Structure 1
Amino acid sequence: MDRYQAMSTLVRVVETGSFSAAARQLNVGQPAVSKTIAQLEARLQVSLLIRSTHGLTPTEAGQRFYERAKAAIQEADEAELAARGAGAGLSGCLRVSAATTFARLHIVPLLPRFLEQHPDLEIDVILDDRIIDLVAEGVDVSLRMGALPDSSAIARKLATGARSVLATPAYLARAGEPQNPAEIAEHDVVIYSQLANVWSFTRDGAEASVAVHGRVRVSAAEGLRAAVLADMGLTITSDWMFAPELASGAVRRVLTGWQLPSLDLWAVFPAGRMASAKARAFATFVENAMARDHSVTA
């Protein structure tokens, strides 16, 4: 029995809570995972997992083995990189999660450059506007925007972007341009349902809060973009979401004398484990790329 493979299998089973989920992440059949765990338990002469209708949980011995095995795997990965020397190419599969629209506009176009730097690396990009369980999904690093709901998350800030009130020139020609935050209430507004409905604007130390209402609400950024570009109204969103259109003039900022709270981009790593070298390298790559791209930080 390959001890490294057995440790890796046990770690995936504990973190996903099932043989089938671990098998999908390891790209093997479920019987192979079950066989590996059975062989490992036979070799150690101890039960590692408790099987029930609710899934799999580690026994006390299994939890101790899991913690040591996970640490050993991470140390082995770091040792390989150290042996190759500083700056050596990364290898294996890097699993990245990110919001769909942000990734389409700002991350996927960067991938060719990153892969060129690391020809032995593969990238699996999970596009989802929801916050997913990084451990259960086997994600190495997640790119998230805004406040982090989990205070225990291992996170690193990569960039800060502006928020603005945006609309197309056609909509503004038809409906006029608001001159202060209170006038937003007189306009058609496209609402992104994942954000707050009350926004606080500031100007020269003064603050103005406005409750945003609208006839159109969308749950995904792609829908927000489509509605705004169809001249359906104003929206309040990150400039990142409309970077190409802001650059081309297809949408315009209004109320530019007022400021909205900025938006932070974070690299979030799975809790309870050391961030892998490839995850850290990818986070650094994105951070540097965002710093170079003035169109997304304007």
Structure 2
Amino acid sequence: MTTFVRVVETGSFSAAARRLNVGQPAVSKTIAQLEARLQVSLLIRSTHGLTPTEAGQRYFERAKAAIQEADEAELAARGAGAGLSGCLRVSAATTFARLHVIPLLPRFLDQNADLEIDVILDDRVIDLVAEGVDVSLRMGTLPDSTAVARKLAVGARSVLASPAYLEKAGEPHGPADLADHQAVIYSQTPNIWSFRRDGAEASVSVQGRVRVSAAEGLRAAVLAGMGLTIASDWMFGPELARGEVRRVLQGWELPPIDLWAVFPAGRMASAKARAFADFVERSMADS
């Protein structure tokens, strides 16, 4: 089971062999014996690598869950003081991970010397089961009501712009003023911005010549003085501290943004996934 799971996770016999510290022929032989015993093809072999068949995907999901259950049993037997081991697959949005997750990994790995971490960086919402992800860090509203999720932190959102842009275009004093400004629009969010102050609400439809599909592009465009945007303070934390971007319309409130740990539906979160979520929660509270 472990060999097959590693082959699916890595996409090749050679990569799985390196992960398992065995020779590639041993991996190939193990998979062949498994397929012969089950009397079903588990993998599709092509020039692009290895992908599971429909039967292979079902076997992968059950096998990975069984391995995780065995790991849980071993950890319980050894006691809570034992470190984590194996491979933890984490997914997160690229910019958030670069600024707030990857810099924390050395400390987490120091605490768990036998653990490896695969970090999948993607701004899209991915299928955790299909991608073999143990825990995903997501921000905002969760679209999947069946997801097993835990809130880790709540972050402020602001209207942000570079000093160079504000010097050129002037500073807006109310939401209505945004209609006369260039907005850098994040294509994954609506271009209608809603504000609240003293119980009153105001919404404005913003326009901009620049639309980006990833947070890294949003950051780059704002820092280049191409317009203002709404973003979480997490996204521009270093630049806010250095004064390279400024908050405007601070008298108006924006809905905050939530950070979630999302676990694959249909099975219990692994000890590794829970420990990582706990670690991120503590780290965000201390930052």
* TM-score for both structures, normalised by structure 1: 0.82
2:129 is the alignment partner of 1:135 = yes
Q: Deviations over 1:38-78 (max 9, x none)?
A: 423544xx53458899962239xx96x77764553222101
Query: In the comparison of the two structures, how many residue pairs are matched?
Result: 278
Aligned position for 2:111: 117
> Letter of the aligned partner of 1:93 in structure 2?
C
Cα distance in 1 for residues equivalent to 2:136 and 2:55: 26
Q: CA RMSD in A?
A: 2.8
Matches within 5 A, 1:142-157: 142-157=136-151
Q: Which runs of 5+ in 1 are unaligned?
A: 1-6, 294-298
2:39 is the alignment partner of 1:47 = yes
Q: Displacement of 1:87 after TM fit?
A: 2.8
Cα distance in 2 for residues equivalent to 1:198 and 1:290: 29
> Letter of the aligned partner of 1:85 in structure 2?
G
Aligned position for 1:3: none
Q: Displacement of 1:213 after TM fit?
A: 1.1
Aligned position for 1:296: none
Aligned position for 2:53: 56
> Letter of the aligned partner of 1:108 in structure 2?
I
Q: Which runs of 5+ in 2 are unaligned?
A: 46-50
Matches within 5 A, 1:173-188: 173-188=167-182
Aligned position for 2:93: 99
Cα pair distance change 1:166/1:97, threshold 3 Å: same
* TM-score for both structures, normalised by structure 2: 0.85
Task: Assess if the C-alpha contact under 8 Å between 1:49 and 1:57 holds in 2.
Answer: no
Cα distance in 2 for residues equivalent to 1:175 and 1:123: 45
Matches within 5 A, 1:1-298: 7-9=1-3, 21=11, 23=13, 26-27=16-17, 35-40=29-34, 42-43=36-37, 46-49=38-41, 56-58=53-55, 69-293=63-287
Cα pair distance change 1:233/1:34, threshold 3 Å: same
Cα pair distance change 1:32/1:183, threshold 3 Å: farther
Cα pair distance change 1:211/1:288, threshold 3 Å: same
Cα pair distance change 1:208/1:30, threshold 3 Å: farther
Cα pair distance change 1:220/1:20, threshold 3 Å: closer
Cα distance in 2 for residues equivalent to 1:133 and 1:292: 30
Q: Displacement of 1:179 after TM fit?
A: 1.0
Seq. identity, %: 74
Task: Assess if the C-alpha contact under 8 Å between 2:13 and 2:28 holds in 1.
Answer: no
SS of 2:105's equivalent? helix
